[in-house]
Amino acid sequence: MWESESDSTARHKYGDGILTSNKHGVKTEGFLQRGHSWYVATDVPSDFLVQIGEANFHLHKYPLISRSGKLSRIIYESREPDVNKIVMDDIPGGFEAFELAAKFCYGIAVDLTAGNISGLRCAAEYLEMTEDLEEGNLIFKTEAFLSYVVLSSWRDSIVVLKSCEKLSPWSENLQIVRRCSESIAWKACANPKGIKWSYTGRTSSKISSPRWNNNDMKDTSPSRNQLVPPDWWFEDVSILRIDHFVRVITAIKVKGMRFELIGAAIMHYATKWLQELVSETSITFDETSNCGNSNSSSSGSGSWIKGGGGLHMIVAGGTRDETSSLQAKEQRMIIESLISIIPPQKDTVSCTFLLRLLRMAIMLKVAPALVTELEKRVGMQFEQATLADLLIPCYNKGETMMYDVDLVMRLLEHFLVQEVTENSSPKRQSFSEKHMGLGCNLNAKARVARLVDSYLTEVSRDRNLSLTKFQVLAEALPESARTCDDGLYRAIDSYLKAHPTLSEHERKRLCRVMDCQKLSIDACMHAAQNERLPLRVVVQVLFAEQVKISTALSNPSLKDVESFTQPMVTNRKTLLEATPQSFQEGWTTAKKDVNTLKFELESVKAKYLELQNDMENLQKQFDKMLKQKHTSAWSSGWKKLSKLTKITNVQNVQNHDHDNSPHSNIPAAPEQNRKTTRRWRNSIS
């Protein structure tokens, strides 16, 4: 709380808030209350009765008509000759405000406070207690107290604005709400130097906030040079009704406060009035299935019950009691008002807050225009979302899906449109700024791609999810957004597990969204043994795996192989860690599948390396045998040629001796010549 230095001075000048009237026609010592009736402590019997609800005021005509134009007109202009009773159930402030006004008419001292000034001011206006009847009448007195005392105090402005909740439309018409809102806005944006502070410690770990109570001001007020926390006004304005809170935030915007602080104040207000936003709701697979199945009989409203993991949402049925209906209406009004006052700048509030607000807006059937506006706001910060926030149940009638996949598709479209708009904006940037912006966009798209892959893995377990919606959501992002398709492969495998009746054509169509070239070695090894994949996809995976392994093994050092495979393993670990354990049923089974997958991949990798070694050994043996066979063939050929050469030389020598002998002139027998010739030919061949 902060209290200006002129507050005490203003109160002193105004007589410490004691309001009196010097002129009165009946001497009295005060009012006496007996049950629901009030009597004037005087010897003169009362001649006028004012009834307000169950309260009865036995008064005198003269003190009232001398200061109230309304009562004077009613009494003198009435058709009845003697009016002794009047009913005033519509007086603002009720019988409490009328009691103070009646005391003022009798000249009894009235203690003006921040709690009763607004009701008394509206009652004075209702009773027409103007200056025309008497100088210094009640309207003038209350207006002066508002202007000089209340509006100069932070605490009093809050209290008066809070008390105006029951005084509509009188407080609006008398500008009390507007003046208090502007006073609060001015003090929230002003330099807090020269302000007295009083703190209450919420917890030891949190920053203490200003306190309204002035009793401990002397003991707990810090020095004026102490740094004031920027969120000191959050707790005080969060007690206001939503329409008055909107008026204060609107006035603060006009004063030029930073939009981050305004967004923080809105989130603080929402966490106080919408407890579902801060509850750790763990909606499991079965719960969302029940929610989805009950949509046909529900009307879109919901309630929250406490469970082991926090507050759990239960969709209300067709029959709702009046209390839940009023509560839903109030929450709907709060959500619509908060959406309308969120500053348009990016990162004003967190993406988690926007998504939880969007979930409640859809559940409570907020106006479609505001829901669309909220979806665009989420699209601006979609890379900051988490998987838990995207698992929004489907509340639409006729839908059998557990999760609202169409909503995520719209959010992704808004994100892509925002990216295109930012890239095509005609802003003059330097070369380095352009490259930094491009890198930021790529990082944002990569984060969104991992988020979408995790979301697809989660929703693929729904048997009512159509192949078309899965394919459209998977192909919504450009190819450059994914550097690794391991997460997409995991989503495809999960979809195939949940939909075993898909035809061959549908399985091919499903696998078409995945690029086998972007799979890591581990994913390729798993896909090569996956019986759920089509044969053509397995062949493509094997080819991609062979290319990657050949590239990795071609590196001379082990470090190169590790550097080649490390990004793949890192991406796989990131994808596995991206899925929170508390937002899916059967996570234990999924974890066992992951461990089994790791074991299978390691065993397949070891077998593959053994086969590579065996193949290399066989290749070496084959080369050795081929070399030996080639050498033996040449040696046997040379041996035959050497024998033939020896035989030819011997025959030539014999023929030469035969020619020189005496019988050389005798012709040889034909058979002998024929036999010699045939032997030569056979040896040559």
State the SS3 of 197-234: ECEECCCCCCCCEECCCCCCHHHHCCCCCCCCCCCCCH
Lowest pLDDT segment from 505-519, 592-606, 655-669: 655-669
Identify which has the larger pLDDT, 494 or 591. Answer: 494
At 282 the pLDDT is 35
Question: What is the rounded end-to-end Cα distance, in angstroms, of the chain?
Answer: 122
Share of the chain above pLDDT 90, in %: 37
Residue 179: which pLDDT band, with cuts at 50, 70 and 90? Answer: very high
Mean pLDDT of 483-504: 90
CB burial readout 357-369, b (16+ within 10 A) else e: bbbbbbbbebeee
Are 245 and 237 a contacting pair, CB within 8 Å? yes
CATH class of 30-152: alpha beta
pLDDT at 639 over 50: yes
At 529 the pLDDT is 84
- The residue extents of the domains of the chain are 30-152
DSSP assignment of 398-438 equals T---SB-HHHHHHHHHHHHHHHHHHHHS-----HHHHHHHH
pTM beyond 0.75? no
DSSP assignment of 635-682 equals HHHHHHHHHHHHHHHHHHHHHHHHHHSGGGGSPPPHHHHHHHHHHHHH
Lowest pLDDT segment from 18-27, 416-425, 571-580, 641-650: 571-580
pLDDT at 154 over 60: yes
| 593 C-beta neighbours (distance < 10 Å), count | 14
